[in-house]
Amino acid sequence: MASYPAPAKKRRGMQLGQQVYPYLSILPVLLVIALFAIYPIIHAVRMSFFQYLLTRPNDHAFVGLGNFVEVVTSSYFKNSVQITAIYALAVVTGVLLYGLGIALLLNSRVRLAGALTIVILLPWALPAVVSGLLWKWILNADFGILNGILYALGLIDSYIPFLADPTLAKLSLIMAFIWKEGPLVAIFFLAGLQLIPNEYYEAAKIDGGGAWSIFRYVKVPLLRPVFLIVIVYETMTAILTFDTIYVMTGGGPANATALISWFAYAEIFKGLNLGHGIALAILIAAVTLVLIMFYLRALKPEDATS
């Protein structure tokens, strides 16, 4: 058996410790991720292949893809997907325009920009439930302030039931979403605008570029990574919107505001069918993942400065 002198053994021990140390350092984090993220996902996927009726807690028959087939072929699925797609497209477009407009305004160094920033940020600081309650009161058909203003200005003859009309209820949800999420998007764009070097603007002006040319050929290309982050984040937030719907419309009237996330909730807590709810949640996650991959390919950040 070979023997090593003491310094050689110590050196080998130190080398072994240096090799193992990085893995030991991240081991606690990996355990936490595995316990609170990976295991729940695996368990949920497993449950989606079984019948989980909360009224029959001891009977979990294996149904394979039965839960997925039943939710996809259900009467509400097609309608909720259409509503979700229209809602996501409207709110992402609206929040992009609103956030970019506010950021351009704040970046132009208007007077009282600091106070204006705080005021604009306030909606984002409010919890979604509080925001929903606020808009529910504003749009109330009996004592809502919006109806009061419109009536006082002579624009309407009687109060409008905003949340009882299918079309107006959808518009109300879109407006509440943009009001709530717009400030965060504005801060993202403002940070991106302030990172653009002044030399780019000066070079554009020397070449005879006006305000629109600078916006089109300088600001928009350099803000491309910000656009990517905002679109991905707001698309996910839009598809998963639930609390605002719960507070403002409850999915009504006549399921007009029932997004796919609302039906996942309804399947579990109203239909008491956990298997259907999990199957819907997995489908929502898969669609969201596909959309994110599409965005990443369509808006490649590495092309922003080329």
Choose among 19, 190, 33, 234: nearest CA to 100.
190
List, for the chain, all residue ranges whose pLDDT scores fall below the cut of 70. Answer: 1-6, 110, 113, 301-306
pLDDT recorded at residue 252: 82
Note the pLDDT of residue 124.
83
3-class secondary-structure state, position 303: helix
For residue 159, give the DSSP letter.
Answer: -
pLDDT tens-digit profile of 15-45?
777 888 888 888 999 999 999 989 999 999 9
For position 201, what pLDDT does the model report? 87
pLDDT tens per residue, range 73-109: 988 888 899 999 999 999 999 999 999 998 988 888 7
Nearest to 105 by CA among 96, 117, 95, 93: 117
CA distance 145 to 136: 10
**Residue 180 backbone phi and psi in degrees, to 5:** -80, -45
Cα distance between residue 48 and residue 42, in whole Å = 10
